[in-house]
Amino acid sequence: MPHLSRRTLLTAATLALTPGSATATAAAGRKPRAAPPRPRDTQGQQGNASITVFLSQAQDVTAIHYTITDIGSTPDTFTIWYTDLRNGRQSRKLTYPLDPGESASAEVYGSVNHTFLVNVCQSDGTCFAVGPVGPVPSIGNAPARGLNLSPRRAATPR
């Protein structure tokens, strides 16, 4: 095996780390991933209640952020909880007494990559749901395993 000089090794290392060189591009491998965009807010309104909900990733859970506002002309009490649409579990119900025009914000946590339905009830029993909020299952361009996309050919006598 031939002996490489320090100068040869240093030159090769410099070329490998120089931005824009073919060697640097090959050494870098893949492109860095861009941060996923924040999902757009989901909103709902009924009676005296107006709510805005959005999700974010928080370590190993999904953070469900919501803001409830009393848009009526009298004080009211609102009860809020979510239902996990994947497993049917419901969160603890949280109650907020609000004056007209007043808002309350909270952050609750659910399972990663699950979809949620946020439930809101007023003190008079009027309830509504906002959602579903969360990732929507997507189907890629490739067929699912075991499916055949080619049409069946009818047997024709020859």
Q: What are phi and psi of 42, to 5 degrees?
A: -110, 130
What integer is the mean pLDDT of 122-149? 67
- Residues 43-92: pLDDT tens digits? 888 888 999 998 888 788 999 999 999 999 999 999 999 999 999 999 99
pLDDT band at 3 (very low <50, low <70, confident <90, very high): low
User: CA angle 59-62-68, nearest 5°?
Assistant: 130
Share of residues in the chain with pLDDT > 90 (%): 45
Owner of token pair 């000089």: 5
Q: C-alpha distances in angstroms, 78 versus 19, 104, 122, 147? A: 57, 10, 5, 48
3-state secondary structure of 37: coil
143 pLDDT higher than 50: no
Residues linked to residue 42 through DSSP beta bridges, in sequence order? 53
**Structural domains of the chain, with CATH:** 42-133 (2.60.40.150)
